[in-house]
Amino acid sequence: MPDIALFAQVLDPANRADPYRLYAHLRETPILRDEDGTYIVSTYAEIRSLLQDSRVSSEDIPVFKRARTGNPILDFIINPIKDRIIEAHRPLLFRDPPDHGVLRRLIMTQFTTERVRATSGRVHAIVEDLIGKMRGREEVDLVGDFAYPLPVAIICELLGIPPGDEQKFQSWSATLAGVLDPDHWVREEHRLKSIENYDAITHYLSAIIKAKRKRPADDVLSGLATYKDKKLGRMGKYDLIATSVLLLIAGHETTVNLITNGMLTLLRNREWLERLRQDPTLAPRIVDELLRFDPPVHFRTRKTLAEIPIAGTVIPKGAPLILLFASGNRDPKRFQDPDRFDPERPDNLHFGFGGGPHYCIGAPLARLEVETALTALAKRLVDPRLVVDPPPYRPGASLRGPARLPLRVAAIAA
């Protein structure tokens, strides 16, 4: 039996660089009950089963509750109303059927495959511009110089966020990305900071949406603000705001990690870096394996709506769950030699974009961005080398990726 403190070690920033050894120990018990009553699911088959189980709910994020201000009107009327509105209109990520299906359908009327494909030219142009700005330098930070600005620019253009406004929401986004970690809500200062930042980003997006209702443009937010489905009608004001927050944050935070984790993996497996440089058609297979080998999202939380017998145990009703996607991706019962990076791997059905009804809406866009990015980096960075290995990591355990990735380069090729 593994130590029940193993998941606490996963959450510990000291183990951010290599949680995979901890996952291997956790898989010794596929369903492990932690000290606080959370059930940690670490094996592929069990994760796959629970992702498809209607008895498992995504509506698990804690209720927003603002701090007391001393003002009775705020504390007993205005703020409780705000908290109830947020609770009733959670982002898509934290909604169950039928609400989830309705919102997803409305979102997909605007976040279409055709619209994503049409961004290909802009993705290539921004990639070339960012790499061009590295010329003349012997050292670059792949995160700050490339992996962060690329997806931010693309998601802002798609949504119709005014150019240059990314600086306004950068800190809000970083804080709100941490809500996926279960220990985030335990710390009062983190909880209150998240509420403060959610209020700030929703206020910012509300103003943009209001303007787009009056003067729609050819972008996703304009489409969502004005589209009326024959059966479902229009997306409500508060659902539209919550959806906008989700698309803005998820539209870049995970892609930053995937680009950075991807380049780090290729630099540790230089044969594949060279093969990609010689043959760009390998990019889709390389990115697919990266999504298995070192995904941008390592786990998601859920809760049970009923008792669930599974893997020799019974998870009780109302129990919190942790679905360890990154652990399932390296389960030796599902993947041969799982700790080896192998883009030629057959039958690579991973959890890189989650699974089940909540499969990532932005998967096609992320693939386009990362394939383009890694292909260009492999081609144009001459003899890139890691300055430090492992690099420093961001605080989050769920959305896991380097905070910086310093590289030394001999040159930037034309």
Looking at residue 341, which CATH number applies to its domain? 1.10.630.10
- Residues 266-284 have pLDDT tens digits of 999 999 999 999 999 999 9
Residue 3 has pLDDT above 70, yes or no: no
Is 1 among the domain residues?
A: no
pLDDT at position 176: 81
Positive or negative: CA dihedral 385, 389, 391, 393: positive
Is 399 among the domain residues?
A: yes
Residue range of the domain that includes 281: 6-412
Nearest in space to 312 (alpha carbons), one of 43, 4, 51:
43
pLDDT at position 2: 55
Distance of alpha carbon 383 from alpha carbon 137, whole angstroms: 13
Could you tell me the pLDDT band of residue 190, with boundaries at 50, 70 and 90? confident
User: pTM of this prediction?
Assistant: 0.94
Distances (CA, A) of 155 to 111, 137, 205, 256, 325: 11, 28, 14, 12, 25
- Quick check: 91 and 243 in contact, CB under 8 A? yes
User: What is the rounded average pLDDT of the residues 221-248?
Assistant: 93
Q: Which two tokens stand for residue 292?
A: 């298995």
Is 144 among the domain residues?
A: yes
Q: How many structural domains compose the chain?
A: 1
Distance of alpha carbon 305 from alpha carbon 225, whole angstroms: 33
Q: How many CB atoms lie within 10 A of CB 136?
A: 7
State what percent of residues in the chain have pLDDT above 90: 78
User: What is the rounded average pLDDT of the residues 28-57?
Assistant: 96
User: What is the rounded average pLDDT of the residues 228-244?
Assistant: 92
What are the two backbone dihedrals, phi and then psi, of residue 113, each rounded to the nearest 5 degrees? -60, -40
String of DSSP letters for 343-393: TT-SS----BTB-GGG--TTHHHHHHHHHHHHHHHHHHEES-EESSSSPPB
pLDDT at position 1: 46
- Residues 100-119 have pLDDT tens digits of 999 999 999 999 999 999 99
- Residues 344-395 have pLDDT tens digits of 999 999 999 999 999 999 999 999 999 999 999 999 999 999 999 999 999 9
State what percent of residues in the chain have pLDDT above 70: 99
- Residues 291-317 have pLDDT tens digits of 999 999 999 999 999 999 999 999 999
Is 309 among the domain residues?
A: yes
pLDDT at position 4: 60
Residue 79 has pLDDT above 90, yes or no: no
Is 97 among the domain residues?
A: yes
- Residues 212-233 have pLDDT tens digits of 999 999 999 999 999 999 888 9
